[in-house]
Chain A
Amino acid sequence: MTGEHGVRPVLSATGLRKSYGHVVALDGVNFELYPDEILAVIGDNGAGKSTLIKILAGALRPDSGSIFVGEQEVDFHSPIDARRYGIETVYQDLALASELNIAENLFLGRELRKPGFLGSMLRVLDKSKMLRNATDYMQDLKIGIQSMDQKVRTLSGGQRQGVAVARSAAFATKVVIMDEPTAALGVKESGMVVDLIRQVKERGLPVVLISHSMPQVFELADRIHIQRLGRRVAVVRPGECSMSDAVAILTGAKEGNEPQPGEEKR
């Protein structure tokens, strides 16, 4: 499967279906994410974008359909499986432990241990190395938090999001998925996170961004995947499509550019 100047997608999916009882959340969705891009996924509530993202992040399994990392077909049973393939997700509700400090949150579940007997047998943490590495990650992304041993509880919403993004960027080797990263933030803090998302892209990691904010999507995204009623109805580029057209496609007032089943000529 090649598209876009013969470049292979980093992450792709075909024919994803998922239903909850009688409710069909995804009705045969295709998805492609190419290297070095920010792909926004937009859609009204109930359009299936959360379900799509959870499937790509390994948090949900589709009823049918295939997911590919590069050329390899994969089957994610948990977010851990997705992480093994280098896909990291920043969740809307942050998934940070507020009583642990920044470094401990960055390394939650993949803590660094002391070398030798202390680390291997007694499982003692190498806290100073964790603090040093955490400082490096945060500086890499230009997140200006002074000390990595502050508890996350003491941070502002934007700073917390910074920690969550830094964690993903530090461990992702292929893809970073961000689910509404600015939903809970004020204007100024949203601006910080938008900068962060750009930093992640500049580091060579493609980003899947789910957002409700049209201006933000049009500011950041290279391509926009529009989801409606469980299907992908269009993929547009911000330069070639106006914001109002995108909204029209999203709400169904205007037809998208994606062939839909039934209309499709076989």
Chain B
Amino acid sequence: MTADLNETALKRARTWRNRIAHAFTLPGVGAFAALVLACIFFAVNSKQFLTGHNFSLILQQAMVIGVEAIGQTLIILTAGIDLSNGTVMALGSVMMTGLAVNSGVPPVLALLIGLLVTTGFGLLNGTLVTRIRLPPFIVTLGMLNITRALTLIYTLNIITGLPPLMTAAGNTFDIGTTSVTYGSVLMIILYLVMYFVLRETAWGRHVYAVGNNPEAVRLAGISKSRLLMSVYGLAGLFYGIAGLLLVARTGVGDPQAGLNDNLSSITAVVLGGTSLFGGRGNILGTLVGAIIISVFNNGLQLMGLQEIVQVLITGVLVILAVSVDQMSHRGQE
């Protein structure tokens, strides 16, 4: 028996063809290839595309969806989904700006309250999923409406005149002649931290395991509820940070913000090669996915195409990316 297994294992490990094939099955590879192709395409079609300034702009445009998509990735890895992230983010951003501007709360405190609110709604989603055992789709669909309504009950007006603390993440520093916003750097740092956490900690491995086989997690003595609560809570915190980045980028607190962000963040996750069935994916793929969306919007705009065409192309992209992912996965079974 030993010999047989050895033989198969060797065959698996040693064929180069397999290795190359394996590389193509890594989650997010399709996304990365698409990103490179898109960049080449736009660079050929627009002189302004391939400039430091434009890339900085692309990152800046990606940062809000990008940070929301970190939370979305965590939830999708557990085989869940979050439809409420955009509106939770909007509520957080309106709360933090409104409290600071209209209620005279010290900015630091207002910011913390905003983050607490979004984390709280994440935990509330988590509670409903784990305690009442509702499907995440239903819970977050309900929460989408609830948080949207709460935001509009809180204020219908755009909040302006923000304290410097809240716009600080929108400030820039120079690399050579290119100015980069602190917010985009923060986004990249958050991705790298979560990449490490998901790969190198027990918690991270459990997030994958629970999406793969929840029963295995239970039988291994891991508390599924506590794990899911931590995932939804942490996702909520990321939505709060995304809210701060939105406020910093636009300079206002906008109660109408974030309505489409649930779908955009899911798009980023899916483009990045994470499986909607959970347990499979790579968070850096999500970063690539968020940047792809931003690159397409930016490039198509530079080419002078209407915004509606950008939406159309994003739709086509999602279907293409997932098809490629499915096919690579199937080829492997």
A100 engages B212 (CB within 8 Å)? yes
**Bound complex: CA A159 to CA B7 (Å):** 13
B280 engages A99 (CB within 8 Å)? yes
A195 engages B6 (CB within 8 Å)? no
**In the complex with contacts A98-B279, A109-B222, A144-B5, A154-B209 CB distance below 8 A:** no
Residues of B within 8 A of A252 (CB): none
Q: Say whether B192 faces chain A, with CB atoms less than 8 Å apart.
A: no
B205 engages A100 (CB within 8 Å)? yes
**Distance of A199 from chain B, by nearest CB (Å):** 10
Q: Say whether B174 faces chain A, with CB atoms less than 8 Å apart.
A: no
Q: Say whether A124 faces chain B, with CB atoms less than 8 Å apart.
A: yes
**In the complex with contacts A96-B216, A156-B8, A147-B208 CB distance below 8 A:** no
Within 8 A of B (CB), among A169-216: 188, 191-192, 195
B219 engages A79 (CB within 8 Å)? yes
B208 engages A124 (CB within 8 Å)? no
Residues of B within 8 A of A89 (CB): 219
Residues of B within 8 A of A191 (CB): 1
B5 engages A143 (CB within 8 Å)? yes
Q: Which of B201, B212, B213, B217 contacts A124 (CB 8 A)?
A: B201
**Bound complex: CA A146 to CA B280 (Å):** 23
A146 engages B208 (CB within 8 Å)? no
Residues of B within 8 A of A124 (CB): 200-201
**Bound complex: CA A127 to CA B12 (Å):** 22
- Using an 8 Å CB-CB cutoff, how does the interface string of B276-304 with A read, 1 for contact, 0 for none? 00011000000000000000000000000
A192 engages B212 (CB within 8 Å)? no
Residues of B within 8 A of A83 (CB): 221
Residues of A within 8 A of B279 (CB): 97-99
Residues of B within 8 A of A98 (CB): 212-213, 279
Q: Say whether A7 faces chain B, with CB atoms less than 8 Å apart.
A: no
A152's nearest neighbour on chain B, judged by CB, is B212
Within 8 A of B (CB), among A98-113: 98-100, 104, 108-111, 113
**Distance of B329 from chain A, by nearest CB (Å):** 10
Q: Say whether B2 faces chain A, with CB atoms less than 8 Å apart.
A: yes
B221 engages A80 (CB within 8 Å)? yes
Q: Say whether A234 faces chain B, with CB atoms less than 8 Å apart.
A: no
Q: Say whether B13 faces chain A, with CB atoms less than 8 Å apart.
A: yes
A109 engages B208 (CB within 8 Å)? no
Q: Say whether A74 faces chain B, with CB atoms less than 8 Å apart.
A: no
Q: Which of A79, A123, A192 contacts B221 (CB 8 A)?
A: A79
Q: Say whether A95 faces chain B, with CB atoms less than 8 Å apart.
A: yes
**Bound complex: CA A159 to CA B1 (Å):** 10
Q: Say whether A91 faces chain B, with CB atoms less than 8 Å apart.
A: yes
**Bound complex: CA A264 to CA B302 (Å):** 91
Q: Say whether A122 faces chain B, with CB atoms less than 8 Å apart.
A: yes
B213 engages A95 (CB within 8 Å)? yes
- Using an 8 Å CB-CB cutoff, how does the interface string of B39-83 with A read, 1 for contact, 0 for none? 000000000000000000000000000000000000000000000
B205 engages A142 (CB within 8 Å)? no
* Total A-B pairs, Cβ < 8 A: 99
Q: Which of A108, A147, A195 contacts B9 (CB 8 A)?
A: A147
Q: Say whether A93 faces chain B, with CB atoms less than 8 Å apart.
A: yes
Residues of B within 8 A of A59 (CB): 219
Q: Say whether B327 faces chain A, with CB atoms less than 8 Å apart.
A: no
**Bound complex: CA A99 to CA B279 (Å):** 7
A97 engages B219 (CB within 8 Å)? no
Q: Say whether B175 faces chain A, with CB atoms less than 8 Å apart.
A: no
**Distance of B276 from chain A, by nearest CB (Å):** 14
Q: Say whether B10 faces chain A, with CB atoms less than 8 Å apart.
A: yes
Q: Say whether A10 faces chain B, with CB atoms less than 8 Å apart.
A: no
B213 engages A96 (CB within 8 Å)? yes
Q: Say whether A145 faces chain B, with CB atoms less than 8 Å apart.
A: yes
A109 engages B220 (CB within 8 Å)? yes
- Using an 8 Å CB-CB cutoff, how does the interface string of B5-37 with A read, 1 for contact, 0 for none? 110111011000000000000000000000000
B208 engages A125 (CB within 8 Å)? no
Residues of A within 8 A of B205 (CB): 100, 104, 108, 111, 125
B1 engages A108 (CB within 8 Å)? no
- Using an 8 Å CB-CB cutoff, how does the interface string of A224-249 with B read, 1 for contact, 0 for none? 00000000000000000000000000
A196's nearest neighbour on chain B, judged by CB, is B1
**Bound complex: CA A14 to CA B111 (Å):** 61
B220 engages A154 (CB within 8 Å)? no
B281's nearest neighbour on chain A, judged by CB, is A99
**Bound complex: CA A63 to CA B201 (Å):** 39
B219's nearest neighbour on chain A, judged by CB, is A95
B2 engages A100 (CB within 8 Å)? no
Given contacts A83-B221, A108-B209, A125-B200, 13 further A-B contacts (CB under 8 A): A59-B219, A97-B217, A97-B279, A99-B209, A99-B212, A99-B279, A100-B209, A110-B221, A144-B1, A144-B4, A145-B9, A150-B9, A156-B8
In the assembled complex, 15 residue pairs joining A and B whose CB atoms fall closer than 8 Å, in A order, are A80-B221, A83-B221, A89-B219, A93-B215, A95-B220, A96-B216, A108-B217, A109-B220, A124-B200, A125-B205, A127-B200, A142-B1, A144-B3, A144-B4, A146-B13
Nearest 9 pairs of A and B residues by beta carbon: A109-B220, A97-B209, A144-B5, A146-B9, A144-B2, A97-B212, A80-B221, A111-B202, A95-B216
